[in-house]
Amino acid sequence: MEQKLMALSGNEAVAYAFKQARPHVASAFPITPQTEMMHKYAEFVANGEIDTEMILVESEHSAMSAAVGSAAAGARTFTATSSAGFALMWEIVYITASLRLPICMALVNRALSGNINIHCDHSDSMGGRDAGWIQLFSENAQEAYDNAVMSWRIGEHKDVRLPVMTTYDGFIISHTADSLHMLPDDAAYKFIGPYKPGYTLLDVENPITVGPLDLTDYYFEHKADQLAAYDKAAEIVGKVSEEYGELTGRHYGFCEEYKLDDADLVMVILGSSAGTAKDVIDEYRNKGVKVGLLKVRMFRPFPASYIAAKLAGRKAVAVLDRSASFGGFGGPVFTEIRSAMYGQQVPVHGYIYGLGGRDFDLKQVATVIEDLQKVASGGAFEDINLLGVRS
C-alpha cells in the first residue's frame, strides 16, 4: 500500500487517524496536552473535510457522558483527554465499558495532580486500568496513529464491543514533530469499515432500556460476561494487528521485542521511553552485553501468559513504571509482571521513573542495564527502585 510520508506532531497524527474513521460525533473539553488534537480536528470540521458533529461540553465528565449517549444512539464517537480530565471522567469511564460502547479516546498521558503538573507520566492511564477499556500504548507518532486507526476495528468488533484508549506521552509525543507514514483516507476507511451497532436508542420501533438497575440477582453475571470479553478482545487485537500489518507493512502485536531473542537481561517499558532505551541497548550490545527490550503495547487486556513466556529463562528483568502506586508493591506494570512470572525463577525488579515529565535520559537506562548485570551475577537488589530522582 502506497503511503504518504508526513511530518506531524503526535496530536496531529491522531487527529488524522480519527478523521479517517469518519466519526459521527466527537465530544471535547480542553486540557493540556490533549488540546492540540481537538484543535486539529475542529479545523477539519471547520474546513468541511469531515462532517462530524462536535459537542463542545463544559467538563470532561460531560464529554464522556455525551459520548455515552451518542454511542448508545448508534453513532461512531470519540473523545480525548489527559490527566485530571480523565480523572474527572472516571465514573463514566467505567460505565462506558460496562455498557459495551465502543468509544475511542486519545489519552495523552500527563501526571495527575497534586501538585499540578502538565508533563508526562502514566498515572492517568494506570489509574483507569481496571475500568474496562482496552489500552494501547504508543512509542511515537507513527505508533499513535496506527493504534488510533486500529482502535476502531478492535472496539467495534461484534465479539468485543468495548471502548479503546490510544495513549501517547504528553509533549514527548503529542507536541513533537515526527515523520510517519499515513494511509490514504479511502484505504484507512476501507480498513476500518462502517460502524454497525448492535442496538440503538434511535431505533424507536424497537425500543431498548440501557443502564438499568442491576441488583444482587444479575449484576455478577453481567460482570462475568464482561470479564469474558477481554479474552476475546486480546484475540481480536491480534487479528486486527495482523491484518493491519499486511496492509501497511507495520506489524504490531501485544508487545514489541527489541533484541530480545538471545537477551539474558531484559527491560520492560511502555511508551516513548522505549525509544531511548533502544539506543542505550545498542551501545551495550556493542560492548557484548546481551540486553534486550520488551515494549508492552497492550496493557489492557494484560497479556500475562504471553509476557511470561517471553521473559521465561532470562537472567534478570527490570520493569520500568512511569507511575507510582502509592502504598502498593511497586508500579502497576511491575505488579502485573511479577504476578505473571509466578513460579519462574527469574528475578524481576521494579523501577519508578519519569514522574511529572522528569527526563528519562540515556544515563538512567545505563544504570538499569548495569543493575541488571549485578542481579544476573547474583547480587542482592531492592524490589522497587526510584530512577532519576534527587536524594
Partner 1 sequence: MAVNLKTLAHNENLLTGGHRACAGCTGANILRQLMLTAGPDTVVGSATGCMEVVTTIFPYTAWKTSFIHSAFENSAATVSGVETAYRALKKRGELPVEREKINFIAIGGDGGTYDIGLQSLSGAMERGHNMLYVCYDNEAYMNTGIQRSGATPLGAHTSTAPAGTVKQGKEQNRKDLTSIMVAHNIPYVAQTTPYHWRDLATKVEKALAVDGPAFINILMPCPVGWHFDTAIGQDLAREAVESNFWPLFEVEDGVYKVNHKPKDPTPMTVWMEKQGRFKHLFRPGNEHLLEASQQWVDLQWKRLLRLEESTNG
Binding site for partner 1 (CB under 8 A): 24-25, 27, 51-53, 55-59, 61-62, 65-75, 77, 91-92, 95, 99, 200-205, 207-215, 218
CB of 169 to partner 1, least distance (A): 29
Which run of H or E residues covers position 43?
Answer: helix 35-46
Residue 385 three-state SS: strand
Based on CB atoms, which residue is closest to partner 1, 49 or 246? 49
- Cα 210 from Cα 75, distance rounded (Å): 15
Based on CB atoms, which residue is closest to partner 1, 92 or 320? Answer: 92
Dist. CA 250–CA 41, nearest whole Å: 25
User: Who contacts 33 (Cβ-Cβ below 8 Å, separation ≥6)?
Assistant: 11, 82, 108, 110, 118, 170, 171, 174, 175
Residue 23 or 331: the one with the smaller Cβ distance to partner 1 is: 23
- In degrees and rounded to multiples of 5, residue 268 shows phi and psi of -115, 125
Of residues 91 and 382, the one with the C-beta less far from partner 1: 91
Instruction: Give the nearest distance from C-beta 220 to partner 1 in angstroms.
Output: 12
CB of 219 to partner 1, least distance (A): 8
Residue with Cβ nearer partner 1 (51 or 246): 51
Nearest distance from C-beta of residue 162 to partner 1, angstroms: 17
Cβ-proximal residues to 380 (8 Å cutoff; 6+ apart), any chain: none
For the CB of residue 17, give the shortest distance to partner 1 in the complex, in Å. Answer: 19
Instruction: Give long-range contacts, CB 8 A cutoff, 24+ apart: 149-152.
Output: 149/17, 149/20, 149/21, 149/183, 149/188, 149/191, 149/192, 149/244, 150/237, 150/240, 150/241, 150/244, 150/252, 151/104, 152/21, 152/76, 152/102, 152/104, 152/192, 152/195
324 vs 230: CA distance, rounded Å: 25
Helix (H) or strand (E) holding 45: helix 35-46
Rounded to a whole number of angstroms, the minimum distance from the CB of residue 68 to partner 1 is 5
How far apart are the C-alpha atoms of 73 and 93, rounded to whole Å?
A: 17
Between 5 and 204, CB nearer to partner 1: 204
Q: Minimum CB separation from partner 1 for residue 223, in Å?
A: 13
* Least distance between partner 1 and beta carbon 101 (Å): 10
Q: 78 near 45, Cβ under 8 Å?
A: no
Comparison of 51 and 370: residue with beta carbon closer to partner 1: 51
Cβ nearer to partner 1, comparing 4 with 196: 196
Any idea which residue has 465514573 for its cell? Answer: 91
